[in-house]
Structure 1
């Protein structure tokens, strides 16, 4: 988005500040519009996730950046599968995790930022569930519920791959770069979720 403003005649730095200020301001107002959003746990969760997103960019784009790789003599980002700076995302990293487990003996496969993030979320969630005594095994209510979950999983996987990210990869990490594609994808995700909720509500009312 800043590049579009810069192409329109704005100074690149000014374009970046305008885009970040406008979009950030709108998102902040929207996020804090309801009373529910002012709860301490909600605010803490938002701050932590935002900080982790920034930390991801710093780790992969600064700490993991090598100006001249000793083997290729080219610049490289050594901590990612994409060979570029990246932050939190969970579509491709889960695929890379499975690939690492399947091809464990392949020395070219290494533990990257994305794989570590995916494994960390699983381990952290399990640990929290155990410590809070909220861990439980859940099943499907009926065959129809199973079918809906399968269809949803297929759509989620297809959408995550074709959209190059999910609500985290595009909605948070991608959005933080002010990339127009990420912004459009995020709004498409929100619209799809709203339509799905309406359909689910209609199905529930019909079954009642």
Structure 2
């Protein structure tokens, strides 16, 4: 077998592995109602922190897992899009806020949209299409020009990657691997300790959702960063991560991959349009979510109630597409995959997402009190 044929075979292995892992993510998330927007809404409307503890548990597991991979020298945060020296702080905050507002208006984030679609929700099909189109425009179209000329122009170049282990290594003289081991252990264990502090955080469903989702995120990092790493690609003679659209090591994220999924479907006959890790993950989540919905007999068709409901979801989907690309990720892409690298940019994006979601939930509640909704 030639070297190029071996790389193509490896590409197939990576795609199938990611599809399978994403299907597991879909099953677990559908079974446990894992949802970042739902977690924030539960707190704002009900004062219930159960699903937030599930999300934080997933963060803790992802932190421990990813930084263990770094500590053993198997992956590097610098090989991801989340830990480059250039810090797009304004983009992370603004894009995160837009995404957070959008996911409230659209009844769920990118992953929840796929899960609702898998359960027969036709509103989510419309949300997915609009999200994908607006994300594609923000990657390469009109809103991409606006993004590059405004918020992306306000960037800071740091002396090291903007993940905390790289910055700590630069400032203290420790190796990045040692810094990742220490910070990952402390912060990951801290997240888990916070989850265990209340009885609601010790429920079996919380642990199934939190540990399950967190491990899937780590597993996809391993597939992309270890299995999919080619030290010297036969065509470029440079290191490569096969099957990734960004050409960096990737884990789960669902905004740009939604755009890539639409592009793959629309330009399927174009030989330059290759199936990527993100497209495989989108397909896997839908497949896994559908299996769980059918098995639990929760699958049911659902459509829009009225024109206002339609308009709200259209606006929300557009905001998620624009905001998710601007922030370099969604509640999964930045809130789990990015955060697991201890990226400062991911922390800023997550703060923006939470702020945008809380503000929009409170705005909606005020409209309900006034009888507008």
What TM-score do the two structures reach when normalised by structure 1? 0.91
Of 158-167 and 131-140, deviating more is 131-140
For residues 145-189 of structure 1, the C-alpha deviation after alignment (integer angstroms, 9 at most, x for no partner) is 332222221211111010010000000000001111001111211
Shift of 1:82: 1.2
Aligned to 2:319: 155
Aligned to 1:55: 219
CA RMSD of aligned residues (A): 1.9
Count of aligned residue pairs for this structure pair: 208
Q: Does 1:106 align with 2:289?
A: no
What are the residue-to-residue correspondences of 1:11-30 with 2, within 5 Å?
A: 11-12=174-175, 13-30=177-194
Q: Counterparts of 1:29 and 1:191 in 2: how far apart (Å)?
A: 24
Shift of 1:9: 2.0
Aligned to 2:47: none
Gaps of 5+ in 1: none
Question: Which of 34, 42, 50 is equivalent to 2:206?
Answer: 42
Q: Residue 8 of structure 1: SS of its match in structure 2?
A: helix
Aligned to 1:141: 305
Q: Counterparts of 1:64 and 1:81 in 2: how far apart (Å)?
A: 13
Higher relative contact order (CA 8 A, sep 6+): 2
Structure 1 pair 141–30 and aligned structure 2 pair: CA distance change class (3 A): farther
Aligned to 1:125: 289
Runs of at least 4 residues off by over 6 Å:
none
For residues 52-96 of structure 1, the C-alpha deviation after alignment (integer angstroms, 9 at most, x for no partner) is 111111111111111111112111111211111100111111111
Q: Counterparts of 1:123 and 1:183 in 2: how far apart (Å)?
A: 30
Q: Counterparts of 2:198 and 2:364 in 1: how far apart (Å)?
A: 24
What TM-score do the two structures reach when normalised by structure 2? 0.52
Q: Counterparts of 2:178 and 2:240 in 1: how far apart (Å)?
A: 29
Aligned to 1:204: 368
Shift of 1:46: 1.1
Is this contact kept in 1: 2:196–2:202, CA < 8 A?
yes
Shift of 1:198: 1.1
Aligned to 2:247: 83
Shift of 1:50: 0.9
Structure 1 pair 175–145 and aligned structure 2 pair: CA distance change class (3 A): same
Aligned to 1:8: 171
